Amino acid sequence: MAVADIFGFESAIEGAGAWGLLIVCAIIFAESGLLIGFFLPGDTLLFFTGLLTFTGVIPLPLPVVILAVFVAAFLGDQVGFVIGRRAGPAIFERRDSGFFSRKNVERTQSFFERFGGWAVTIARFVAIVRTFAPVAAGVGKMKYAHFVGYNALGAFLWSAAIITVGWALGSIPEVAAVVQQYMEWVLIGLVVITVGSAVIAFLRQRAQARKANASGAGEHTSSEQA
């Protein structure tokens, strides 16, 4: 009995349709603008989205898929910008935790120092930084019109480039044959990668946060004793 029969993947694949794309868009939206979404594997997800579009698992034309992901990525960054604008610098002054790291903030700030407003566009292609960039732009009071332009360009280039690469790889007959033959394993692998990378990133982030907080507490105690 095939794995697809055991887990019901065949019927899930046939019935998913545009819902699969909706799930992809929801994940991309969260990764783009919500600080808790930095651990989501956006690049990997978009690559597989292109691959699954070519093989028909996502039964929609490539331009429609790219447009949908572009909108999700664009809106995610817009939300991140608003969060940063309203919360102000205080949003980056929290203690390190599984969902927040000052190291990521510092990395994003150095990105802006190096590239200026273009950091919003370029950050799309850099994991973690792309989650913090729109918030940092909001905190830094970047002009809204400028942010919209940089955001739109980055969201389009990112979604179009990576999805198209996945789609192009699927167009290779040998690759398409393997994907279609082992489709259930491809989908299981995608789920494992998405969930697994998120869990690993969260646990690693939390461990680093505990270490940083413990170190800070130790320094504070030493200064008081002195």
Residue 46 identity: L
- Whose CA is closest to 40, among 12, 62, 73? 73
pTM for the whole thing?
Answer: 0.71
pLDDT at 111 over 70: yes
Contact predicate 38/31, CB 8 Å: yes
- % of the chain residues with pLDDT over 90: 21
Residue 10 has a pLDDT of 42
What average pLDDT does this structure show over 11-19?
A: 56
Residue 174 has a pLDDT of 73
Q: How far is CA 208 from CA 79, 99, 203, in A?
A: 27, 11, 9
- Whose CA is closest to 32, among 112, 113, 127? 127
Per-residue pLDDT tens over the stretch 169-219: 888 877 767 666 665 666 666 666 656 655 665 566 566 556 655 655 555
Residue 194 has a pLDDT of 58
Residue 7 has a pLDDT of 41
Residue 14 has a pLDDT of 44
Task: Tell me how far apart the alpha carbons of residues 204 and 62 are, in angstroms, rounded to a whole number.
Answer: 36
Per-residue pLDDT tens over the stretch 41-54: 778 888 888 888 88
pLDDT at 142 over 80: yes
Residue 133 has a pLDDT of 86
Average pLDDT, the chain: 75
Name the region of 153 (left: φ>0; alpha: ψ -120 to 50; beta: rest). alpha
Q: What residue has token string 């504070």?
A: 220
Per-residue pLDDT tens over the stretch 119-128: 899 988 887 7
Q: Cβ neighbours of residue 75 under 8 Å, at least 6 residues apart?
A: 29, 32, 33
Residue 97 has a pLDDT of 46
The residue among 17 and 173 whose pLDDT is bigger is: 173
